[in-house]
């Protein structure tokens, strides 16, 4: 039986929000089994917002949670790191409205979690096992989930740029694949859109230190970490958004040019329609794989 996990000790970091540009101090703390991921605004009397699809707020360039008018913004990279390292329970304290962007990927969060250490808890982990397929379409955007024995994600993007074009990346989240193939992939943006986005106040914290910046025919800040880093980052985002179902998933996700709004639409449908899945423990090597990968990465850094 696989058990729930939390971190062993508190860890923290400082950074700025990609969209707000606001300075923020973030601290991750261990949490009791069954609590899930809980965000806490220390600047607002420790107001707490659970990381669940029921609290999803407006979603455009990033995923935000809102409860009673209190906002937590850009949750997807940290939530992705929790899924990738097998953390079920944690408290995330922040003293501002947006999570820090750090280097634009999930790797700094993974490093923090590995530095804190992972602690197995008594309670068996219950997975969301997909029983029936669900497909959502919106124009040329598509996202679907199908039954599977493991958690697999396939993503396709299509940008008219010499370095991107049509790219597909498929990954099964076992054997350390998340840490090796997904966590280091950084967010990206196009220089020709930057001025307009900056004027709308959408990327106040963006810089060449925390995003891949694409010029009309190349890169402003080479090198890439992977030749197909762009589509890998979309996989990272998708995993972080789907974490809002509140469980590890056993299912195969297929997305084509989906984006945060469709990711969270899938979460809402899954939470609303309980005939699509059941809750089950797991007798399998997924969690051991996470730990083997964690040991491997901590040895290499
Ligand atoms: Zn992202």
Tens digit of pLDDT at every position of the chain (301 positions) = 899 999 999 999 999 999 999 999 999 999 999 999 999 999 999 999 999 999 999 767 789 999 999 999 999 999 999 999 999 999 999 999 999 999 999 999 999 999 999 999 999 999 999 999 999 999 999 999 999 999 999 999 999 999 999 999 999 998 899 999 999 999 999 998 988 888 888 899 999 999 999 999 999 999 999 999 999 999 999 999 999 999 999 999 999 999 999 999 999 999 999 999 999 998 655 555 555 555 555 444 4
Burial of residue 293, with CB atoms counted within 10 A of its CB: 0-12 exposed, 13-18 middle, 19 or more buried: buried
DSSP 99-122: ---TTSSSHHHHHHHHHH-EEEEE
Cα–Cα distance measured from residue 249 to residue 216, given in angstroms and rounded to the nearest whole number: 38
Quick check: helix, strand or coil at residue 264? helix
Q: Which residues, at least 6 apart from 160, have a Cβ–Cβ distance to it below 8 Å? A: none
* Distance of alpha carbon 27 from alpha carbon 13, whole angstroms: 7
Catalytic residue among 19, 233, 260, 263: 260
CA of 290 to the centre of ligand 1 (A): 22
Among this protein's residues, is 192 annotated catalytic? Answer: no
Around ion ligand 1, residues with a beta carbon closer than 5 Å are: 187, 237
Ramachandran quadrant class, 82 (left: phi over 0; alpha: psi -120 to 50; beta: rest):
alpha
Model pLDDT, residue 202: 87
Ligand 1 mean position, distance from CA 237 (Å): 5
Position 208 scores a pLDDT of: 94
Tell me, in angstroms, the distance from the centre of ligand 1 to residue 228's CA: 15
Ligand 1 center from residue 292 Cα (angstroms): 26
**Under 8 Å between Cβ of 170 and 253:** no
């Amino acid at each position: 039986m696989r058990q729930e996990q939390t971190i062993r000790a508190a860890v923290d970091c400082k950074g700025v929000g990609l969209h707000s540009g606001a300075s923020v101090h973030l601290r991750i703390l261990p949490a009791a089994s069954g609590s899930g991921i809980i965000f806490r605004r220390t600047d607002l009397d420790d107001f707490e917002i659970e990381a669940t699809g029921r609290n999803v707020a407006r979603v455009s360039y990033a995923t935000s949670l809102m409860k009673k008018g209190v906002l937590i913004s850009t949750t997807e990279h940290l939530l992705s790191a929790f899924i990738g390292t097998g953390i079920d329970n944690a408290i995330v304290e922040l003293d501002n409205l947006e999570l820090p962007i750090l280097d634009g990927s999930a790797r700094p969060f993974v490093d923090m979690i590995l530095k804190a250490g992972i602690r197995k808890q008594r309670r068996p982990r219950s997975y969301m096992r997909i029983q029936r397929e669900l497909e959502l379409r919106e124009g040329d955007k598509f996202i679907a989930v199908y039954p599977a024995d493991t958690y697999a994600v396939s993503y396709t993007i299509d940008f008219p740029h010499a370095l991107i074009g049509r790219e597909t990346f498929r990954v099964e989240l076992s054997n350390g694949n998340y840490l090796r193939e997904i966590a280091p992939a950084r967010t990206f943006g196009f220089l020709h859109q930057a001025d307009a986005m900056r004027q709308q106040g959408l990327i106040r914290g963006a810089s060449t230190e925390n995003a891949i910046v694409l010029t009309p025919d190349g890169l402003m800040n080479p090198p890439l970490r992977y030749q197909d880093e762009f589509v890998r980052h979309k996989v990272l985002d998708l995993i972080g958004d789907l974490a809002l179902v509140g469980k590890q998933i056993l299912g195969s996700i297929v997305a084509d040019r989906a984006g945060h709004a469709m990711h969270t639409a899938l979460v809402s449908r899954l939470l609303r329609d309980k005939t699509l899945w059941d809750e089950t423990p797991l007798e399998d090597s997924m969690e051991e794989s996470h730990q083997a990968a964690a040991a491997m990465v901590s040895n290499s850094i």
